[in-house]
Structure 1
């Protein structure tokens, strides 16, 4: 039986708001289903979608949530714990910014914030199991990223200690995910300590090659770093268990390049675009993933500095559907099989 990708799915985080139909599970999943999506990736911690505490303790509750989705023609693809994973490791330079994403009780207290985030990550593992999901998507957080450019020169051992600390924080969480049979597919993303293949390998080594340490493949972040995003699949395909379908473009000029000069998104050399409006070669990506038998979801993550989000969402489902490849179960030239036996084969080659 051929291995086939699932989709199209849509990540709901960028669409949630306090206005209908984006303010409740029933209405936003109906909206997604009517656009042609078959799955929804749901951010854990947004109470407008589901209660994480209940989901971690009650399969009945999770069945009810899944039932609402099913009534609207979609299923849950993965739980997203991006913001929770981010809080597992926050460099002090980012304390003030990230404190806006956590409960009042832990603001201004980095240790309490980390403990809270770790507890929420554990809940998400149990909730994923109760939803019947095998994969979640997340961030690693960052301790070393402010030192990404080596000026002033980084002290010897700083990066190694950062990854050792990441491992100390993440290994117990990964162990809980293993107990629940759920991957953490980390989105490899600038701003995190794991932002390319080299840093993923460093993290994977630090957690001793943990079985549940996987990748959420998002080519947009690789294009903006000018990486070979197709070769990345060749190298790491065995660790890819989730896929964000997101486009981007990179247009350097005499004023700016990869770092984009502190400019707003509209004026950056590197910027995210709606599907089909950027430079990512999705035909090649979908072919690569099909070649390696990727069976997970293809999930639209919409981020664009120009196009209206509802237009991007409307165009996204058919775009993904068009690019998905149903793998063949027979070779195209099977019709020409002569069916000769071993003796005939040896005779053809002149072997006595």
Structure 2
């Protein structure tokens, strides 16, 4: 049985002046980083949502190459003045902007289900890039959000119980049929 790992953490977003987060070598030792195989994908659904891509279809197509998964949300609110390419606006005024986990338009139940369906067993890491919510609030909500969405994949079918009884008399007894 495979199961997604998580929640992970994007260390660069929390780098600071104190050890071990004050230089890359210390962070790498702390996290025991190793080089991932080439040609792998970090799945980041909100980037697709902001560009009007189908992030669920992307998982169907490229699931074998997905080795990491960033969890954050996004929204796309086009206006008569801006659409996908509204990058010159401040983040609060962009049509497409990142949001905190579960606050907007990414269907996380579907994303986690797709990844579970394909046996994804690597990390789901919160990536806080919200245009509105405070980082500390977002971080405190991230781990429980991911934990809630991780699916423990079953190793049996829901109807396996029906396959075990083949004796007609045993079936009648089981169902309480006396004649």
**What TM-score bracket applies, with the shorter chain setting the length?**
0.7 to 0.9
| Structure 2 counterparts to residues 49-88 of structure 1, below 5 A | 50=26, 62=29, 65=30, 76=31, 79=33
Distance in 2 between the 1:247 and 1:51 partners? 26
CA deviation after TM superposition for structure 1 residue 221, in Å: 0.7
Deviating above 4 A after TM superposition, structure 1's stretches of 4 or more consecutive aligned residues are: 338-341
Structure 1 residue 221 and structure 2 residue 37: aligned? no
Relative to total residues, which structure has the larger helix share, 1 or 2?
1
Structure 1 runs not aligned, ≥5 long: 29-45, 53-61, 66-75, 80-127, 129-135, 137-181, 184-211, 342-352
Alpha carbon RMSD of aligned pairs, Å? 2.1
> How many residue pairs were aligned?
167
Aligned to 2:9: 10
CA deviation after TM superposition for structure 1 residue 329, in Å: 1.3
Distance 1:51 1:294, change over 3 A: closer
Distance in 1 between the 2:127 and 2:87 partners? 25
Structure 1 residue 332 and structure 2 residue 172: aligned? no
Per the normalisation by structure 1, the TM-score is 0.45
Aligned to 1:303: 129
Q: Deviations over 1:201-225 (max 9, x none)?
A: xxxxxxxxxxx21100000110011
Distance in 2 between the 1:218 and 1:247 partners? 9
CA deviation after TM superposition for structure 1 residue 323, in Å: 0.2
CA deviation after TM superposition for structure 1 residue 293, in Å: 0.1
Structure 1 residue 233 and structure 2 residue 64: aligned? no
CA deviation after TM superposition for structure 1 residue 285, in Å: 0.2
Structure 2 runs not aligned, ≥5 long: 168-179
Higher RCO, 1 vs 2 (CA within 8 Å, ≥6 residues apart) = 2
Verify the 8 A CA contact 1:244 1:300 in the aligned structure 2.
yes
Aligned to 2:170: none
Distance in 1 between the 2:24 and 2:19 partners? 5
Per the normalisation by structure 2, the TM-score is 0.85
Distance 1:239 1:331, change over 3 A: same
CA deviation after TM superposition for structure 1 residue 332, in Å: 1.3
CA deviation after TM superposition for structure 1 residue 305, in Å: 1.1
SS in 1 for 2:6: strand
Aligned to 1:277: 103
Distance in 2 between the 1:220 and 1:261 partners? 15
CA deviation after TM superposition for structure 1 residue 24, in Å: 2.8
